[in-house]
Structure 1
Amino acid sequence: MRQWWKWSIYAGSIAAFIGSASFTIYCAWKVYAYHQPGKEAAEEAENNAYHFVLVPEELDNDYWRLVEQGAKAAAKETRVSLEYVGPRQANMDEHIRILEKAAASKVDGIMTQGLTEKEFTPVINHIVEKNIPVVTIDTDAPTSKRTAYIGTDNYYAGFIAGRALAEDMRGKANVAIITGSLTASHQQLRVQGFKDAVKKEKGIRIVAIEESHITRVQAAEKAYSILKKHPEVNAFYGTSALDAIGIAKVIEQFHREKETYIIGFDTLPETIHYLRKGTIHATVVQEPYEMGYRAVKMMVDILNGKNVPSVTNTETKVIRKQDLPLRPARNYEVEHD
């Protein structure tokens, strides 16, 4: 009887051990299975051939979010890792620091704006000398060692804005220009293109040019001061995405919607709102999604040893209220998380 009892205890111990071992194996398997998505993500990261950084002028600007969306779509297709990092608000010094940090981390490619020749050309050249290709987007640095530029022909964009104003105002207007920056090359080109487009119009006079620093508030402040100093102004041209919005707020404040013409840039939701109301009469549209998408594809080609064009201009056109809604929406409507 005692031997049977000992045997029972022994058998029970064995069964308990087997059960415990089985449970341990089962738990281990569940843990392994649970972590499979992480493993797949890790494997996908390992399979990503390249690591790119996209540095915008302003991180939370809706225009640059469209560029980001296009870049991310191309990154997913080409299986590359993409970081989107930049200043919260336009800040040249911070922008340059981020570029230098990206280069120091030895990424495979950098995409950014050229902004100003003086400040950005040396930075871009330094990056390229580290064997990191640079593709400029939206704003070129043509004298730098960048490999390629993709984006708007900013002189042409300013020119068609000038022609649109001249046509809509029938060749007679006292114009004030509010530009995002007096030093940024793309803004300068938009101003110069506009000037050249209207210079033969005897009835068009450019009364003032002011700087908004790419903010709604300063665009509104400058529009207000211009109207106080030059009440004869009956047309405004805003060269950055936020300028026409600030101008429109002031025009409505002065109740001058019917007597003041506004042409701006881009298709931020507020711009479309004022366009539908008739406060803004026209805006120059670009293809930011296409810029980001094609820049990533171009960078992959560069790293794979393929030849790419030095300059690729995306489509630019002037639209008015009757042209809404715009398609394809990916170039004009930001997808918010």
Structure 2
Amino acid sequence: MSRLSIIAYSVCGLFFSVSLAFSLFYGYKVITHDLPKEKKAVETYNYHFVLVPEELDNEYWKLVEKGAQDAAKKYGVLLEYTGPKQANIDDHVKTIEMSAASKVDGIMTQGLSEEQFTPLINRIVASGIPVVTVDTDAANSRRLTYIGTDNYYSGYLAGKALIADTFGKINVAIITGSFYANHMQQRVKGFENAVKSEKRINIITVQESEISRVKAAEKANQILQDHPEVNAFFGTSALDGIEIAHVVKKFHKQHQIYIIGFDTLPETLNFIREGTITATVVQEPYQMGYEAVKMMVDHIQGKKVPPIVHTETRILRKADLPVSTQSGKAEGN
């Protein structure tokens, strides 16, 4: 064997030995350190529901979602929370239609208008998917049940609160979230009927905010300029009362104008503590979401479900807040 052949064999042997050493080292490392961890077991669900709110990022609807998610965990439900980012009835309807097309086990939503939502809900129910209305009913539809506030009664309570809290001549302006939405119509109607027998109370104007902070502020600002005689406001949605309060403070009239709002968002409670908002109508959005999921599961399991479940509604004033929070300190969990 020639000297070159010996050198070649030696080099090949050395290369093979090095390659083997690296293979053994990295093979050991993979076996002992880099094996993929065992995949977590896929979570299984009994049912798939969809909750479609009027406005996805609305704080009120996030409370509804929280209740629904808690119930979903208890009953083994996969819950989707999806809808328009800002209130838009066409987008709302499209989201419901898409949910139905995906063959979910149940849909929870509002019955915002008889004209559009009643036939929509009826078609979905006819296809075999139960629908629960939350917060706003579609009473003439084939929905399974309604879970939420008695909206006429809530407006009536607001009117009675105004009567109890004021004296003398009162000129009221109403800012409502929507002219077309059933629940807003009912709140205005309840308020009007509560105060109509009081000769000292006059409703000057009713304006629409379109569930928009900007629009609510614009309307409140315009009302105070066009109607300087206004000395009371009723805001029928959570955002209306808050923006009315901002505008009233801007005009430095917080001690001259009575405001009653809706819901207990943190800003609303802060305005109550400082006295800018006198009262607010309290709803139970968490309970609405929780009960909606529970009722849907009960129905699927063959249990009887009541056609209407009204959640609690009451008036809250500064005196009703815990003493520790009236000074402006944060409330506990």
Does TM-score exceed 0.5, indicating one fold?
Answer: yes
Check conservation: 1:239, 1:264, Cα contact below 8 A. yes
Partner of 2:160: 163
Partner of 2:103: 106
- What CA distance in whole angstroms lies between the structure 1 residues aligned with 2:223 and 2:113? 27
Partner of 1:296: 293
Matched residue SS, 1:272: helix
Partner of 1:148: 145
- What CA distance in whole angstroms lies between the structure 2 residues aligned with 1:23 and 1:224? 71
Check conservation: 1:110, 1:132, Cα contact below 8 A. yes
Residue 320 (1) aligns with residue 320 (2): no
Tell me: CA distance 1:222–1:18, structure 2 relative to 1, closer, same or farther (3 Å): closer
Matched residue SS, 1:36: coil
Check conservation: 1:138, 1:152, Cα contact below 8 A. yes
- What CA distance in whole angstroms lies between the structure 2 residues aligned with 1:24 and 1:278? 67
- What CA distance in whole angstroms lies between the structure 2 residues aligned with 1:325 and 1:310? 36
Matched residue SS, 2:238: coil
Query: Which letter maps to 2:210?
Result: H
Residue in structure 2 matching 1:35, options 38, 48, 69: 38
Check conservation: 1:140, 1:149, Cα contact below 8 A. yes
Q: CA deviation at 1:245?
A: 1.1
Partner of 2:243: 246
Identity %: 60
- What CA distance in whole angstroms lies between the structure 2 residues aligned with 1:295 and 1:100? 19
Residue in structure 2 matching 1:127, options 100, 124, 127: 124
Partner of 1:180: 177
Q: CA deviation at 1:227?
A: 1.3
Which segments of structure 1 move beyond 2 Å, counting only runs of 4 or more? 16-28
Check conservation: 1:109, 1:133, Cα contact below 8 A. yes
Of 162-171 and 80-89, deviating more is 162-171
- What CA distance in whole angstroms lies between the structure 1 residues aligned with 2:271 and 2:108? 32
Matched residue SS, 2:147: strand
Partner of 1:6: none
Unaligned runs of 5+ in 1: 1-15, 327-332
Q: CA deviation at 1:18?
A: 11
Residue 73 (1) aligns with residue 70 (2): yes
Tell me: CA distance 1:25–1:248, structure 2 relative to 1, closer, same or farther (3 Å): same
Residue 198 (1) aligns with residue 201 (2): no
Q: CA deviation at 1:24?
A: 6.9
The root-mean-square deviation of aligned C-alpha atoms, in Å, is 2.2
Unaligned runs of 5+ in 2: 1-21, 324-330
Query: Which letter maps to 2:39?
Result: Q
1:167-194, CA deviations, whole angstroms, 9 ceiling, x for partnerless residues?
A: 1013641100000011110000000000
Tell me: CA distance 1:323–1:22, structure 2 relative to 1, closer, same or farther (3 Å): same
Partner of 2:263: 266
Residue 222 (1) aligns with residue 219 (2): yes
Q: CA deviation at 1:35?
A: 3.0
Tell me: CA distance 1:66–1:325, structure 2 relative to 1, closer, same or farther (3 Å): farther
Residue in structure 2 matching 1:83, options 77, 80, 102: 80
Residue in structure 2 matching 1:115, options 112, 135, 140: 112
Q: CA deviation at 1:306?
A: 0.8
Matched residue SS, 1:242: helix
Residue 138 (1) aligns with residue 143 (2): no
Query: Which letter maps to 2:262?
Result: F
Query: Which letter maps to 1:254?
Result: F
Matched residue SS, 1:312: strand
- What CA distance in whole angstroms lies between the structure 2 residues aligned with 1:214 and 1:325? 30
Check conservation: 1:151, 1:312, Cα contact below 8 A. yes
Residue in structure 1 matching 2:284, options 287, 298, 306: 287
Matched residue SS, 1:256: coil
TM-score, normalising length: structure 2: 0.87
Larger Rg: 2
